[in-house]
């Protein structure tokens, strides 16, 4: 292959890859370029060269694809929050469905006909019930600023989202269309307040400053609105002044909490938490059940699509009144309780202690008496000893993190061979990897893609598995 790193080439994008990049062929090798659409004729600079693939950085669109549209947001080309705003929504879900099909075929070796048509989202914008914004003393420069011959100062108070692939610089947002419009107004207010009052953003290199993250949660089925201020220190003078200002300008806020993360890690989870206003939790509904949500607990980010996702999972489980159901990676018990009224007993397992506490409280609040929740790391907890203690399940639902299931969990599922297994995934590639391993003991009957995250390449999928005949 004659092309060299740094060389500028021309190519035509003909498809999309799972992480949202466009794919072209150049000298017989796959070329991946971000911010492109199938049909785009482009110029790109080669930034990575491997034996089997090339990666390029878009320089210019020579001829735009007929699929390309004008993004709603001015940050769409630079922001890591949305990768596909330049594609209309119908095109987005066509490609997402194809990604699921490709992974099941290429990685798992499964037939194409098991994948059902994708379930799209009725709200392609303003659908998120949680946004995690970050603060930095260094902002991400625009392409125009980068290419400028003059010095451009990138210092200041940046508030927004991480630039793609960068954790030290923040894209300073002037708009965002993923959460309810009040979300951006709150972000803008916090930024302005901090600048006026000389409250410094956290510097990840120097380990100085105060403001680290702003996490906003809004409930879809109630009026609850949570503000979670993640800071490097407690500093009550700073935080209480900001709290009072927020409540004065946004009376719809129902609770404010402060998470103090004084450790080097970049997460928005504090070492400890203070409730500054209200109950410290919000409440939302999925189906017929209400859920208490703490600042650091997991809850499905798209409430309305979560209901569709859970409907699919419950349908695939083919539950019976006398069933004992296991829910692996159960979080705050949303899916557990969603299925509880269809079975005799349900047992959830979860690693995060605050999520287990939420799950127990959610069961109590919803008068669900046939559920139990166990705290533990799945790879260590889900084993023969656990089965002996809690009983053998008739059906298992597993909803693992993006990395998929640990090999020990897969091995135990294969050995256990429950009659029915439902796999809920936020990453079709790791799901396909796990399904390949499970396919010897279970038949993968069908897979349903569900779009939870419009404007991004992310896609959820639900797989229905049954133990192969004679193996139970």
Instruction: Evaluate whether the domain defined by 1-68 bears CATH number 2.40.50.140.
Output: yes
Q: What is the mean pLDDT of residues 33-50?
A: 93
As annotated, the residues of the chain forming the CATH 2.40.50.1070 domain(s) are 130-282
Q: What is the mean pLDDT of residues 214-236?
A: 97
Q: What is the mean pLDDT of residues 103-128?
A: 95
- pLDDT given for residue 153 in this prediction: 45
Question: In this structure, what are the phi and psi dihedrals at residue 221, rounded to the nearest 5 degrees?
Answer: -95, -5
Residue 170 pLDDT level (bands cut at 50, 70, 90)? confident
Q: Does residue 128 register a pLDDT over 70? A: yes
- pLDDT given for residue 144 in this prediction: 54
Q: Does residue 375 register a pLDDT over 90? A: yes
Fold of the domain built from segment(s) 130-282: OB fold (Dihydrolipoamide Acetyltransferase, E2P) (2.40.50)
Per-position DSSP letters for 106-164, written without gaps between them: HTS---GGGBPPPB--S-SSS-BSEEEEEEEEEBPPPHHHHT-SS----EEEEEEEEPT
Whether residue 426 lies in the annotated active site? yes
Q: How far is it, in rounded angstroms, from Cα 15 to Cα 92?
A: 12
Percent of the chain past pLDDT 70, that is, above it, reads 94
Q: Long-range contacts made by residues 308-312, C-beta under 8 angstroms, separation at least 24?
A: 308/119, 308/450, 309/424, 309/450, 309/452, 309/460, 309/462, 310/286, 310/334, 310/335, 310/338, 310/339, 312/119, 312/448, 312/450, 312/462
Q: How far is it, in rounded angstroms, from Cα 464 to Cα 115?
A: 11
Q: What is the mean pLDDT of residues 33-58?
A: 92
Per-position DSSP letters for 410-470, written without gaps between them: HHHHHHH--SEEEEEES-HHHHHHHHHHHTTTEEEEEEEEE---TTSS--EEEEEEEEPTT
Residue 4 pLDDT level (bands cut at 50, 70, 90)? confident
- pLDDT given for residue 157 in this prediction: 87
**Mean pLDDT of the residues in the chain:** 92
Contact criterion met (CB below 8 Å) for 347 and 327? yes
The residue with tokens 């692939």 is: 165
Query: What would the pLDDT profile of 23-33 be if each residue is shown by its tens digit?
Result: 999 988 999 99
Residue 364 pLDDT level (bands cut at 50, 70, 90)? very high
As annotated, the residues of the chain forming the CATH 2.40.50.140 domain(s) are 1-68
- pLDDT given for residue 79 in this prediction: 83
Q: Does residue 94 register a pLDDT over 60? A: yes
Please give the structure tokens belonging to residue 140.
């991400």
Looking at the domain that runs over 93-123+287-467, which CATH code has it been given?
3.40.50.150
As annotated, the residues of the chain forming the CATH 3.40.50.150 domain(s) are 93-123+287-467
Q: Does residue 147 register a pLDDT over 70? A: no
Q: How far is it, in rounded angstroms, from Cα 303 to Cα 291?
A: 12
The residue with tokens 């007993």 is: 345
- pLDDT given for residue 168 in this prediction: 63
Residue 78 pLDDT level (bands cut at 50, 70, 90)? confident
Catalytic-labelled residue, pool 73, 176, 194, 426 = 426
Q: Does residue 13 register a pLDDT over 50? A: yes
Report the largest interatomic distance among the alpha carbons of the chain, rounded to a whole angstrom.
Answer: 73
Residue 151 pLDDT level (bands cut at 50, 70, 90)? very low
With left for phi above 0 and alpha for psi between -120 and 50, is residue 374 left, alpha or beta?
beta
- pLDDT given for residue 140 in this prediction: 65
- pLDDT given for residue 356 in this prediction: 92
């Amino acid at each position: 292959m004659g092309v060299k790193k740094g060389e500028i080439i021309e190519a035509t994008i003909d498809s999309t890859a799972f992480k949202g990049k466009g794919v072209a062929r150049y000298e017989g090798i796959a070329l991946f370029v971000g911010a492109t659409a199938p049909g785009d004729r482009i110029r790109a600079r080669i930034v990575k060269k491997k034996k089997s693939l090339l990666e390029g950085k878009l320089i210019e669109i020579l001829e735009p694809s007929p699929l390309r549209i004008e993004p709603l947001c001015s940050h769409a080309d630079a922001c890591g929050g949305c990768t596909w705003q330049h594609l209309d929504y119908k095109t987005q879900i066509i490609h997402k469905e194809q990604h699921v099909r490709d992974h099941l075929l290429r990685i798992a070796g499964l037939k194409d006909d098991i994948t059902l048509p994708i379930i799209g989202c009725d709200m392609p914008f303003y659908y998120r019930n949680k946004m995690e914004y970050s603060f930095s003393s260094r902002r991400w420069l625009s392409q125009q600023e980068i290419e400028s011959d003059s010095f451009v100062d990138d210092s200041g108070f940046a508030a927004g989202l991480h630039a793609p692939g960068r954790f030290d610089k923040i894209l300073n947002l002037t708009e965002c269309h993923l959460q309810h419009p009040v979300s951006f107004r709150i972000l803008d207010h916090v930024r302005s307040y901090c600048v006026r009052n000389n409250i410094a953003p956290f510097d990840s290199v120097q380990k100085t400053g105060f403001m680290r993250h702003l996490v906003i949660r809004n409930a879809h089925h109630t009026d609850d609105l949570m503000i979670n201020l993640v800071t490097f220190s407690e500093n009550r003078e700073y935080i209480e002044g900001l709290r009072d200002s927020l409540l004065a300008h946004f009376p719809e806020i129902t609770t404010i909490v402060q998470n103090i993360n004084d450790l080097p890690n970049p997460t928005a989870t504090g070492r400890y938490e203070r409730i500054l206003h209200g109950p410290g939790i919000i409440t939302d509904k999925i189906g017929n059940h209400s859920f208490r949500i703490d600042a650091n607990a997991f809850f499905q980010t798209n409430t309305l699509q979560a209901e569709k996702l859970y409907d699919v999972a419950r349908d695939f489980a083919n539950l019976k009144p006398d069933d004992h159901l296991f829910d692996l990676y159960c979080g705050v018990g949303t899916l557990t309780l969603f299925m509880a009224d269809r079975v005799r007993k349900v047992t959830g397992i979860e690693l995060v202690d605050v999520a287990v506490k939420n799950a127990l409280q959610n069961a109590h609040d919803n008068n669900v008496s046939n559920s139990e929740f166990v705290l533990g790391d799945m790879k260590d907890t889900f084993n023969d000893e656990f089965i002996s203690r809690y009983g053998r399940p008739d059906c298992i639902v597993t909803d693992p993190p993006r990395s998929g299931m640990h090999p020990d969990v897969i091995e135990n599922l294969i050995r256990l061979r429950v009659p029915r297994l439902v796999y809920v995934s936020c990453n079709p590639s790791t799901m396909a990897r796990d399904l390949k391993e499970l396919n010897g003991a279970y038949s993968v009957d069908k897979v349903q893609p569900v779009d939870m995250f419009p404007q991004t390449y992310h896609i959820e999928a639900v797989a229905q598995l049954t133990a192969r005949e004679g193996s139970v």
